[in-house]
Amino acid sequence: MAVRKLGSIRFRARSAGALLLPALWLMTAGSAAALDNGLAKTPPMGWNSWNKFHCNVSEKLIRETADAMVATGMRDAGYVYLVIDDCWQVDRDAQGNIVPDPKRFPSGMKALADYVHSKGLKFGIYSDAGRMTCQKRPGSRGYEFQDARQYAAWGVDYLKYDWCHHGKQNSEASYALMRDALAKAGRPIVFSICEWGSTKPWLWAGDVGNLWRTTGDIQDCWDCKRKWGGLGWTQILDQQVGLEVYAGPGHWNDPDMLEVGNGGMTTEEYRAHFTMWCILAAPLMAGNDLRNMTDEIREILTNPEVIAVDQDPLGKQGVKVRDDGDLEVWAKQMADGSRAVALLNRSTKKQEIAVQWTEIGYPAHLKAAVRDLWKKQDLGTATGRFSAEVPGHAVVLVRIRP
């Protein structure tokens, strides 16, 4: 099968001077059967509580965040799913129904979902395929159909489903069970698989979930690596190489939620992180405090031309076409035949980075218009190649249109 063959190609991650299989990224997206729930035709966009707030979630935070999503222009930029991560749940009642924390969510989940919906947003929630969530709250194991019915009754539109405390469970079977439970519950619910890439979900999740995490948890740093498995965003980026063939409309690789605006990186570093997530056609789940966001961060998260790269209807994940050690070129094929090209400088000093047309599937003699998507400036036309000076730990993002 074509998918497997493509999947077995070995990629050289970050070796110096490597021109990477230039034609690969032009190939058709891979998964044989895609989950047919009609959702996530472009990568889902929204906000999730985990990266900034961890267990400190409440209906107050969610209501204020809903208000902020509207006031900051995030909703209108496309961020519609407001997702409560771990810790909203405390128990099960005598009938086995999941019980939200009565102190933190005194009005209940239905009222909260109604409020979120009244703002023109969609409501998301979190559970776990095992006995307990990662923070030791009740998981959905053995309660899949009951929980799915409950979510639908509350008005849930998105479920993130984690993988802690799963014992000897089989991942594909466990996630397929919740997929079927959601389908039976009778409400369209985006299904977000979160098993950290541990059983290679890209190989089996195309017809199980709308998105699947590919790695351990993102950290708010450029390239750190935590002993327990947390990763800076460039570490995560390296692990996306080769997964592009498995993504497409309705089923996406998920390199984890955004850290943009959480304080651990510079504005340029956040811009680079956001750019690369858009090149990857990654789900864009903001993870910062939207109630206190600087203008600079808001401008990164809401730049319409950059978001359009992520949300392009062709649904192609971008690929690394050149790797010169610290200097990388990534390209994403767009529905109109243009290319979004990111020149990424991972070193700490300013350097020139060039892209050759032949690396992005264009003939060398082709004349093309180049636009800088962050500067919002047309740079004129170029033939055969384009190059730019890129500051350290930064990116230049252009759209190249023949």
Active-site residue list:
162, 217
Q: Which region among 13-21, 93-101, 129-137, 241-249 touches ligand GAL (by CB under 6 A)?
A: 129-137
Residues 4-63 contacting ligand GAL, CB under 6 A: 50
Of 194, 321, 329, 400, which lies in the binding site for ligand GAL, with binding defined by CB under 6 A?
A: 194
Contact between 328 and 344 (Cβ < 8 Å): yes
Interface residue with ligand GAL among 98, 109, 112, 134 (CB under 6 A) is 134
Q: Are strands 394-401 and 339-345 parallel, antiparallel or unpaired?
A: antiparallel
Instruction: Among 37, 135, 169, 351, indicate the residue that binds ligand GAL (CB under 6 A).
Output: 135
* Nearby residues of 4 by Cβ (< 8 Å), 6 or more positions away: none
Burial (CB count within 10 angstroms: exposed 0-12, middle 13-18, buried 19+), residue 227: exposed
On whether the CB atoms of residues 49 and 83 are closer than 8 A, the answer is yes
Specify the residue, 135 or 311, whose C-beta has the smaller distance to ligand GAL.
135
Beta-bridge partners for 340: 332, 399
Considering the rule CB under 6 A, would residue 175 count as an interface residue with ligand GAL?
no
Binding ligand GAL (rule: CB under 6 A), the pick from 144, 217, 220, 328 is: 217
Taking alpha carbons only, the member of 143, 150, 113 closest to residue 128 is: 143
Residue nearest to ligand GAL as judged by C-beta position: 134
| Of 128-136, 171-179, 220-228, 262-270: span binding ligand GAL (CB under 6 A) | 128-136
Q: How far is CA 77 from CA 39, 40, 286, 349, in A?
A: 18, 16, 12, 33
Tell me whether strands 190-193 and 211-213 are parallel, antiparallel or unpaired.
Answer: parallel
Between 134 and 301, name the residue whose CB sits nearer to ligand GAL: 134
Pairing of strands 190-193, 158-162: parallel
- Which is nearer to ligand GAL, 280 or 309 (by Cβ)? 280
Q: What is the smallest separation between the CB atom of 265 and ligand GAL, expressed in angstroms?
A: 19
Measured from the CB of residue 15, what is the shortest distance to ligand GAL in angstroms?
Answer: 29
**Binding of residue 220 to ligand GAL (CB under 6 A):** no
Contacts with ligand GAL by CB under 6 A: the residue count is 11
Where helices occur in 139-195 by DSSP H, the ranges are 144-154, 171-185
Single-letter code of the amino acid located at 91: D
Residue 162 lies near ligand GAL (rule: CB under 6 A): yes
Residues near ligand GAL, by CB under 6 A: 50, 85-86, 133-135, 162, 164, 194, 196, 217
